Amino acid sequence: MTKYRIENDSMGEVKVPENAFYAAQTQRAKENFPISTLRFDRAFIQALGYVKQACALVNQELGLLPEEVANYIVKASQMVIDGEVDEHFVLDVFQTGSGTSTNMNANEVIANRANYLAGQDGADVRIHPNDHVNFGQSSNDIFPTTLRVSALLAIRLQLIPALNYLQKAFHQKGAEYADVVKTGRTHLMDAMPLTIAQQFGGYERQLDLGVERLESSLERLRELPQGGTAIGTGINTHPEFGRRFADKVSELTGENFVEAIDHFEAQATVDAPVETSGQLKTIAVSIMKIANDLRWMNSGPNSGLGEVQLKALQPGSSIMPGKVNPVIEESVAMVCAQVIGNDTTIMIGGQSGNFELNVMLPVVSYNLNQSIVLLANAARNFADQSVSGLIVKKEHIADKIGKNPILVTALNPVIGYDLAAKIAKTAFAENRPLKEVALEMTDLSEEELDKALDPFKMTRGGFTE
């Protein structure tokens, strides 16, 4: 049977599991919100540790916390940063909209560990979760600050490197098959030719722009609400606290953060996280398009496009022997769908601020971090398990491209659109090579047609004749 201890808060006594590092307020929230199995991720808990550590250091520097108290809070906060106490962050994402419960979870865990460390040292000090760990703070500035710090760190350390990694994989594969000319497609129908390098270069640019969009949104995400306390006025904290805190958390994380230009905006809204989520959604749309293109190009192998061969990673059917499916692309597409759905939740969360506080902070933070981590993991897996190992089927592509009647487009400037259309329709109807039909229906020589109908020249734009 679970053993309990008795903890007290302003509402009275509460039974708390004997070995739990949290106390009464966390236990009340745990009992009040048995909604889901969703908990805050490592990135968020780590960021919360950085935030609490920075607060303690700044308050000590300002002479508002005794040095010995601040030192033990800093040490305990480091345990949060390092993931040593993650199992004691037990609260459901679906809780009070300000995140007060999770702020108190952190305050109680840090106070518990700080007191434990002080006891080991024989120090005559008692650290209180509210009076010391939460000094000069409110959940109303702590939580949105942690939201921004955790998201920015995850984007900078995980997502942007992963997108660059995927971009590099497409660049290398495009260079490997730079001389391969394939049939382009619009409306899923044959169109003018392009090279594999050109097609994959388009994917590279999508990913480059995704990183640019993220970098732009991070400029707003860097503004931290910390220092506004309850509603943005900064009641019960030092006037310099916000600026000094931003400097300190920058020092601790290695990223550049600044104090919010307007604390009322920063606490009443989650506009910056909403913007960031919108950029994540755009990246998800880009990657889903890329993944679906590869699925089409891999389709077959005999009755589809069959332009590329993706790595065979696992059996594709429990009933059809030998079937292999584009499982990585399917996984990537599902991740993208999740990110797009998360953005809808974040958008609704952003609309749910009332006056001086947004009241969907936990779900906004959870979904934002989930989108960042999912995209980062999916991008790396896409690069490693699919793009880097795909094979372009040169012979199959070469056999098809000469029969593409749309190549007649290159003759438009010489013979006119109407005659070119007749040639294309005849070649298609009679299943004959375009050049053969053009020889019969125009006065152009074989040499002239070879020059005008060279698919590789068509990929360079301009006129081929």
Whole-Å CA distances, 205 to 209, 280, 294, 339, 340: 6, 16, 16, 21, 21
Give the residue carrying structure tokens 């993931």. Answer: 83
> Would you name the residues annotated as active-site residues?
187, 317
**Is 462 buried (19+), middle (13-18) or exposed (0-12) by CB count in 10 A?**
exposed
What's the rounded Cα separation, in Å, for the pair 443 and 414?
11
Beta bridge partners of 18: none
Tokens for 226, please give them.
Answer: 């910390």
241 touches 136 (CB < 8 A): yes
- CA-wise closest residue to 373 among 148, 99, 43: 43
Contact present, 184 and 198 (Cβ < 8 Å): no
Q: What span, in angstroms and rounded, lies between the C-alpha atoms of 341 and 224?
A: 26
**Using an 8 Å Cβ cutoff, are 141 and 358 in contact?**
no
User: Are the C-beta atoms of residues 22 and 112 closer than 8 Å to each other?
Assistant: yes
Pair 191, 316: CB distance under 8 Å: no
